[in-house]
């Protein structure tokens, strides 16, 4: 009897070996326990993960035998028998003349791999943020909480739980709702613009007007965005101008990387060389007791050199026609189609100019930094203007903050008014307006979801304060002030905290206690600011970076490959400036 069993086992092993070869698998793989069952499911075109589920894996193996028989063109009766008498049917399949043939719908391994690559590329930003959130959660389990309040205090570990993650998602969406609504409104605004021929005509006129001097448009756009950011310290409102500039660049024949470099790059460079530090974006001056405009010369030098590096690299890139490729589909997506060439464009120009002007005036810190009180006085006049005893303008308009102190809410209101005016002037029907709103929201909801995840990183970092544990460790690697370690902790803090206000809140009080030489504080202020600017350009938690990469459909991996050289150039320039500041 033992000889019979042994003979059947040998026949079955040889049969499996031959069956694997006929199914285009290496025969030796059939001899490896567990792995052979895994491959049997693959040969049967079934989900391989079924093998990990108890009881289900037994049923799946039986079904696999049935499906393999069918793929060998056997009858259903034979296939059913194979589920119970595989020691007979497998040798029949292995040594018979029937050939294994995949079903027409089956996908080759190569196709599956390519599809997976496409999925990873499509959801690259989401995957990247997911990894960062997972890393932050793990850090809360690994590192003790550390906070600074006159003295540095290390406490117990405060771990993030499963329900906490969902709670922090809601907190992020709620607390930063004004910014998220502004970005959705910008999306709706440009969705409507793309349906208006006047906007298409305007884009066409600008792109053709710079046809022989495309370099000039790029240079002007970089200088404009960089200087405006350097004067205001604001980043998110700058997104309003991005789609317009991107459309012009695409109309000129430039690709998405050029568009991203001109937009994100300019705002980042402006933030690196920030000249004024408005109260709503930084606590640096307050913490270090510095005057407004401190180290102004160094900031201007950094700004000018940063702009020069950005323009040089952009113009160098666009000259390489092999790299600067653009597809007809991209042109169709980012350049509005012109149908009526006789449409009037002057109302469009006026509305866009007025909105742009209001945005710029609203950004600049007139009173806090420039000591210009005209807008504060005008706001007070509006509040006090009365007919009889009623402050009529105040009642009609409500609470309006003075220019220079605007938040995302005020910019959103301006855009909504702009949407209504455009719809009235260009006779957009109510149905088309509603369709544009729905379409704009639908297109940009995925971007908003990404931004909520980025803000989640901030919420977790603030709620589970492990960051100073890392900062303390890095600063203690060297004695006293060190440019490299200070730059590193500044960048890491900016990476986790998304916005500079929170980076300063967490980092600078502790840094001030460690580096007590007040002569170094102005340098630290410039250094911290510069690292925050670099984070805007490469940190996957950067709001303007996420919004722009999502809009242009650029993966974070591709962006990092593209921007690395420019980042290194900026770092070299910054370190040279920092060293000179120390020496003088």
Residue 390 pLDDT more than 70?
A: yes
User: How distant is the alpha carbon of residue 400 from its chain centre?
Assistant: 32
For residue 26, the SS3 value is coil
Tally of residues, the chain: 584
Please state, in angstroms and rounded to a whole number, the distance separating the CA atoms of residues 483 and 476: 13
Average pLDDT in the 334-361 region? 87
**DSSP assignment of 94-149, as one string?**
HHSS------TT---HHHHHHHHHHHHHHTHHHHHHHHHHHHHHHHHHHS--EEEE
Q: What is the pLDDT of residues 481-503, one digit of tens each?
A: 889 999 999 999 989 987 777 88
Report the pLDDT averaged over residues 6-33: 80
Looking at residue 158, its pLDDT comes to 84
477-486 CB burial, b ≥16 within 10 A, e <16: eeeebebebb
422 within 8 A of 195, measured Cβ to Cβ = no
Lowest mean pLDDT among 28-42, 178-192, 367-381, 536-550: 367-381
Residue 518 near residue 528 (C-beta atoms within 8 A): no
Res 55: pLDDT? 57
What integer pLDDT is reported at residue 299 of this predicted model?
Answer: 92
d(CA 558, CA 575): 26
pLDDT in tens, 286-299: 788 787 767 889 99
Please spell the DSSP secondary structure of 186-241, one letter per residue. HHHHHHHHTT-HHHHHHHHHHHHHTTT-HHHHHHHHHHHHHHHHHHH---GGGGGG
Domain ranges of the chain: 2-106, 124-150+163-365+404-583
* pLDDT at residue number 256: 93
| 221 pLDDT more than 80 | yes
pLDDT, tens only, 100-129: 776 555 455 555 556 556 666 677 888 889
Q: For residue 322, what pLDDT band results from cuts at 50, 70 and 90? A: low
Q: Which residue has the tokens 């320039």?
A: 573
């Amino acid at each position: 009897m033992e000889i019979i069993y042994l003979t059947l086992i040998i026949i079955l092993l040889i049969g499996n070996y031959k069956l694997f070869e006929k199914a285009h698998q290496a025969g030796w793989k059939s001899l490896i326990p567990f792995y052979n069952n895994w491959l049997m499911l693959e040969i049967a075109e079934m989900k391989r993960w079924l093998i990990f589920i108890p009881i289900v894996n037994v049923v799946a193996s039986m079904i696999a035998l049935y499906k393999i028989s069918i793929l060998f063109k056997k009858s259903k009766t034979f296939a059913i028998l194979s589920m119970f008498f595989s020691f007979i049917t497998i040798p029949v399949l292995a040594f018979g003349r029937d050939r294994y043939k995949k079903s027409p719908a089956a996908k080759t391994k190569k196709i599956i791999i390519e599809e997976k690559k496409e999925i990873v590329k499509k959801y690259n930003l989401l995957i990247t943020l997911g990894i960062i959130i997972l890393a932050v959660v793990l850090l809360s389990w690994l590192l003790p909480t550390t906070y600074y309040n006159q003295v540095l205090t290390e406490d117990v570990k405060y771990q993030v739980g499963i329900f906490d993650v969902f709670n922090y998602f809601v907190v992020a969406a709620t607390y930063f709702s004004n910014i998220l609504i502004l970005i959705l409104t910008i999306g709706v605004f440009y969705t409507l613009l793309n349906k208006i021929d006047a906007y298409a005509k305007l884009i066409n006129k600008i792109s053709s007007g710079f046809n022989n001097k495309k370099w000039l448009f790029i240079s002007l756009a970089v200088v404009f965005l960089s200087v405006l950011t350097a004067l205001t310290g604001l980043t998110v409102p700058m997104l309003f101008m991005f789609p317009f500039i991107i459309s012009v660049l695409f109309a000129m024949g430039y690709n998405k990387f050029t568009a991203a470099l001109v937009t994100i790059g300019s705002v980042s460079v402006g933030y690196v060389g920030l000249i004024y530090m408005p109260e709503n974006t930084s606590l640096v001056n307050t913490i270090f007791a510095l005057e407004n405009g401190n180290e102004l010369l160094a900031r201007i030098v950094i700004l000018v050199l940063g702009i020069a590096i950005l323009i040089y690299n952009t113009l160098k890139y666009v000259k390489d026609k092999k790299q600067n490729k653009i597809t007809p589909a991209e042109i169709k997506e980012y350049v509005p189609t012109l149908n009526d060439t006789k449409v009037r464009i002057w109302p469009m120009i006026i509305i866009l100019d007025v909105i742009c002007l209001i945005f710029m005036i609203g950004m600049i810190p007139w009173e806090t930094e420039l000591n210009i009180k005209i807008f504060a006085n005008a706001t007070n006049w509006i509040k006090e203007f009365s007919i009889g005893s009623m402050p009529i303008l105040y009642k009609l308009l409500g609470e309006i903050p003075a220019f220079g102190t605007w938040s995302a809410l005020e910019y959103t209101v301006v855009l909504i008014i702009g949407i209504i005016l455009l719809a009235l002037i260009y006779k957009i029907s109510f149905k088309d307006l509603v369709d544009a709103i729905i379409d704009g929201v639908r297109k940009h909801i995925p971007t908003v979801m990404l931004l909520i995840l980025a803000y989640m990183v901030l919420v977790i970092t603030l709620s589970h304060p492990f960051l100073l544990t890392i900062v303390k460790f890095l600063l203690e690697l060297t004695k006293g002030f060190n440019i490299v370690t200070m730059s590193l902790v500044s960048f890491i803090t900016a990476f986790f905290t998304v916005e500079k206000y929170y980076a300063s809140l967490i980092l600078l009080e502790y840094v001030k206690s460690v580096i007590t030489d007040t002569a170094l504080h102005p340098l630290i202020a410039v250094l911290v600011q510069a690292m925050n600017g670099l984070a805007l350009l490469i940190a996957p938690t950067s709001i303007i970076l996420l919004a722009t990469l999502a809009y242009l459909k650029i993966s974070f991996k591709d962006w990092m490959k593209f921007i690395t050289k420019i980042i290194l150039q900026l770092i070299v320039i910054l370190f040279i400036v920092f060293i000179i500041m120390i020496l003088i």
